[in-house]
Amino acid sequence: MQRLFSSFQIKGLHFKNRIVMPPLASFLLDRDGTVTDKAVEHYRMRAAGGPAMIIMEACAVSREGIVSFHQARIDEDRFVEGLSKIARVIKAEGAIPAVQIHHGGRQTSVKVIGRNPLAPSPLPCPAIRGEVEALTVSGIRELVQKFGDAAVRVREAGFELLELHGAHGYLINQFLSPFSNIRQDAYGGDLEGRTRFAREVLQEVRRRLGPDFPVSFKISAQEFVPNGLTLEESIAALRILIPEGIDMVQVSAGNDATPEWICQPMFMKKACLADSARAVKKAVNIPVMSVGRINDPFIAERIIAEEKADLVCIGRGLLADPEMPKKAKEGRFDDIRTCIACNTCMESIFKKGRVECLVNPTLGREREMAVIPAKRIRKIMVVGGGPGGMDASLVAAQRGHRVDLYEKGPVLGGQLIPGSATSYKKEMLSLIRFQSKQMRRYGVRVHLNREIQLKDVLSEKPDVVIVATGSLPAVPPLEGIEHEIVCSFSSVLDGKRPPPRETVVIGGGPTGCEVAFHLSEQGCPVTVVEMLPKAGKGLEAITKKVLFEKLAANGVRFLTGCRPLRISTQGVWIKDAEDGERFLPAGRVVLATGIRPNTVLYDRIKDMGFEVYRIGDCLEPRTAKDAILEGARLGRAL
């Protein structure tokens, strides 16, 4: 870790190491963008974890520039006081306080801003759609002034570096890219015209802040869309922009049509944009930051060692474990709770309006979920070694309780074991390894191949029983379900290479889609039968986009709005609204029709006088995130 933890200088700013937390929307601010105590604590904890710099999430420079409620704002003086609280705690914890400013342009909606979004051209956002208003020259000049006003507030709030968001399909990026800019005036056309808005913003920011205040620029070096920015054109754009006052560049990718390059799912390889950063670094004479699936200090060290970048941005990795830099510096690698790129953080923002993390249940709940020593030490029996049972055991042991965990199988992990069988989900295993090692560190006694019966509970006489026995497959009442060609999804996702048979998967939810992908990757012809009008309900949106592209490339066929009728030894009879009954030949039929709670043990002991709790799928089939959160909360409550 010698290079990762070497120091660095930019315009008088001293970086104690090469780790930067890039801007990530937290949704911990009030609906109007006012800073909350939760947001301050969120940034304080990340700064205390040891990165050199924290770049606060994007602050809108104009009311119509916000992209969602709860977004940070810097368009009025009244926001400075709250922003200064964040800058102060970041600096007090030993990190450089920085902030990103931006304008959403067309990437917002009437619902959020109360008017048609502004854009360089009358082209709607491909993700949000809806009418937009093309900016006039006077409107452009007004926005340039607003960027300058925001820059002054950045300094007044106590931040020591400003980053302009010129990436990800927001307004500056919209001007830079021919994908979104079809203007024929001085702000469009060739690269000189398309960079004019960014140049004027930089000139105004420099005029207001002077030459010595550090300014970073975030760029989508590649957009991965027809007529979008390429690496070569982005380098050419940077050569035009850097003389206007850019001190550092953050090399990202993607736009509103390619979100998988903005918040990369498990499919993407780690450090997937590091080579782009290296190309930019070779072409320009200012420091370069690399971003994109850098969730491991060893990968970060290699990026610096190979001179692909001067600094590395670790975003979701610091949501998963805010102390990653400190732990890496101290050599405590087994203590790092690694981001697995499940994109739960993104999904929770859009579905719940707050950021959550599958592997870190304390994200956004830092104060309320502090681990406090138990007032009375108790004997706790945890039955079930899935993610919920493991987290409950770990937290209870951290608090001083005597914990025994019993797992009926030969390994820990529960549903995460079949859940990690598909090639793109192997990183789920890192969570199992982390929980296992941490339990042993804190003295949890783990008993494998032990299926607990009522007599075991009676003989052990625990003070508390936590039942985390998970779920059982929900078997549909189909004629022919007993035939040998029928199998469960877990038997397919058992880590073994499946025989190459034509397969019908009954159920097109997340599990059914993962089974279809796994089998199609092994060369099996696959048809998925789903009763709903669309398959993939419950999949995180970005993951779903990439997964369905790969399923289509693998030739997987989806039959939606179809109901299975019966199964024979040669296949499945189904019924759809248009064609009536038809037969699908198959050598294997996989049931992916859901799961039901396994409450057998709980039902037997709940009236025996024990203090007993259910968590995870044993309570109600949901996600690993729900199980871990329930386990973490229960472990803190005992």
Residue pLDDT, tens place only, 581-617 = 999 999 999 999 988 999 999 999 988 889 999 999 9
Q: Distance between CA atoms of 336 and 359, rounded to whole angstroms?
A: 11
Residue 554 has pLDDT above 80, yes or no: yes
Q: Distance between CA atoms of 414 and 504, rounded to whole angstroms?
A: 25
For position 64, what pLDDT does the model report? 97
User: 340: which DSSP letter?
Assistant: -
What domains does the chain contain, in order, with CATH numbers? Answer: 8-352 (3.20.20.70), 379-473+596-637 (3.40.50.720), 486-593 (3.50.50.60)
Assigned token pair, 631: 């386990």
Q: Distance between CA atoms of 254 and 252, rounded to whole angstroms?
A: 7
Q: Distance between CA atoms of 479 and 573, rounded to whole angstroms?
A: 10
Q: Are 290 and 305 in contact (CB under 8 A)?
A: no
SS3 611: strand
User: 605: which DSSP letter?
Assistant: H
Phi, psi of 295 (to 5 degrees): -115, 10
Mean pLDDT, range 10-36, rounded to an integer: 95
Q: Distance between CA atoms of 190 and 194, rounded to whole angstroms?
A: 6
For position 620, what pLDDT does the model report? 83
For position 353, what pLDDT does the model report? 80
- Mark out the alpha helices in 49-114 (DSSP H runs): 80-92, 110-113
How large is the angle between the packed helices 137-156 and 196-209, nearest 10 degrees?
40
> Over the stretch 103-126, which tens digit does the pLDDT of each residue have?
999 999 999 999 999 999 999 999
Which has the higher per-residue pLDDT, 354 or 45?
45
For position 114, what pLDDT does the model report? 96
Residue 74 has pLDDT above 80, yes or no: yes
Which string of b and e fits 415-435 if b means at least 16 CB within 10 Å? bbbbbbbbebbebbbbbbebb
> Over the stretch 271-320, which tens digit does the pLDDT of each residue have?
999 999 999 999 999 999 999 999 999 999 999 999 999 999 999 999 99
Residue 579 has pLDDT above 80, yes or no: no
The CA angle 232-238-239, to the nearest 5 degrees, is: 90
For position 311, what pLDDT does the model report? 98
Assigned token pair, 256: 């509103």
SS3 68: coil
For position 440, what pLDDT does the model report? 96
For position 196, what pLDDT does the model report? 98
Mean pLDDT, range 327-355, rounded to an integer: 91
For position 621, what pLDDT does the model report? 81
Residue type, 303: I
Mean pLDDT, range 512-522, rounded to an integer: 95
Mean pLDDT, range 380-404, rounded to an integer: 97
For position 259, what pLDDT does the model report? 95
Residue with tokens 């994908």: 179
**From residue 529, how far is each of 505, 583, 638 by CA, in Å?**
6, 12, 44
For position 115, what pLDDT does the model report? 96
For position 465, what pLDDT does the model report? 97
Mean pLDDT for the chain overall: 95
Of 43, 170, 406, 613, the active-site residue reads 170
Residue 8 has pLDDT above 90, yes or no: yes
- Cα–Cα nearest to 554, from 591, 518, 585, 500: 518
Active-site residue, 170 included: yes
For position 421, what pLDDT does the model report? 86
For position 419, what pLDDT does the model report? 86
- Cα–Cα nearest to 106, from 92, 120, 94: 120
Region of residue 43 (phi > 0: left; psi between -120 and 50: alpha; otherwise: beta): alpha
Which has the higher per-residue pLDDT, 100 or 426?
100
Assigned token pair, 271: 């450090």
In this structure, the strands spanning 595-597 and 471-473 are antiparallel
**Strand extents, DSSP E, 11-111:** 13-15, 19-21, 53-60, 72-73, 96-102
Q: Distance between CA atoms of 260 and 546, rounded to whole angstroms?
A: 7
Q: Distance between CA atoms of 69 and 49, rounded to whole angstroms?
A: 28
Q: How confident is the model at residue 622 (pLDDT cuts 50, 70, 90)?
A: confident
For position 295, what pLDDT does the model report? 94
Mean pLDDT, range 189-196, rounded to an integer: 98
For position 349, what pLDDT does the model report? 85
Mean pLDDT, range 467-492, rounded to an integer: 93
Q: How confident is the model at residue 509 (pLDDT cuts 50, 70, 90)?
A: very high
Q: Are 504 and 590 in contact (CB under 8 A)?
A: yes
Residue 578 has pLDDT above 80, yes or no: no
Region of residue 406 (phi > 0: left; psi between -120 and 50: alpha; otherwise: beta): beta
Query: In the chain, pLDDT over 70 holds for what percent of residues?
Result: 100
> Over the stretch 230-255, which tens digit does the pLDDT of each residue have?
999 999 999 999 999 999 999 999 99
Q: Distance between CA atoms of 120 and 524, rounded to whole angstroms?
A: 47
Q: Are 593 and 478 in contact (CB under 8 A)?
A: no
